[in-house]
Amino acid sequence: MEKLEGAIKSVVDGIFARVAEGNRVAFEGHAEREEIKKGVAALTSGDFGRYEYLVLHPLNQFTSGLAESVFPGSAKLQFLAREIAFFQRHLGETIKEIEGSSCYNDKTQRISRALLQFFLTGKEIAWDYSAEYTYSLPKKIFVTHEEIVEFFDAVHFLFYGRPDRYLAFREKLARFSTAAG
């Protein structure tokens, strides 16, 4: 058993090492730019305001401009485009908590795509559990349109420092997980 655990650990460590290497290479491709050098200096000296101004603010402007260009007039679609990683982290962790980690990423992607389509077309989210393949469909949580939209709104408000809806959703989730367990 120890051999198997060692082999699994080796594979996982290798994956993380490749990801870290890719991140390092991506950074090095921009490291010589003057604003990046200044941003690194600000970060290493603990000047988070200057770092934010030099590095994060331009990135945020870019992603905001992209989202506003692709989805003019739709704050929800713009938020989803800009902050998809934030939304999906919360969505995926919630799925893992209630349904377990099996296929949680497939479910996260499926729900995110369905939500995007709802915001684009207005067509409510409805899962087809009679389909041949349903591994990417949520089974216990996020099974209704209303629940998905409520969760999106809760995360959207949480992102902007207003946690009330998210906390209320988590409270309902705690009751749900207690009843399901």
- How large is the average pLDDT for residues 8-23? 68
CA-CA-CA-CA torsion sign (146, 143, 71, 120): negative
Residue 112 has a pLDDT of 98
Using N-to-C axis directions, what is the helix angle for 84-99 and 75-82, rounded to 10°? 80
Residue 100 has a pLDDT of 92
Report d(CA 72, CA 163) in Å as an integer: 26
- How large is the average pLDDT for residues 9-17? 65
Report d(CA 157, CA 155) in Å as an integer: 5
Find where tokens 């082999």 sit: 7
Which among 127, 124, 123, 118 has a CA at the least distance from the CA of 77? 118
- How large is the average pLDDT for residues 89-112? 95
Mean per-residue pLDDT over the chain, rounded:
89
Report d(CA 82, CA 117) in Å as an integer: 16
Lowest mean pLDDT, pick from 10-24, 28-42, 61-75, 121-135: 10-24
Residue 179 has a pLDDT of 54
Residues 6 or more apart whose CB falls under 8 angstroms from that of 114 comprise 125, 148
Q: In percent, how much of the chain has pLDDT > 70? A: 87
pLDDT higher than threshold 60 for residue 1: yes
Give the pLDDT band of residue 91 (cuts 50, 70, 90): very high
Q: The pTM is what?
A: 0.82
Find where tokens 């594979």 sit: 11
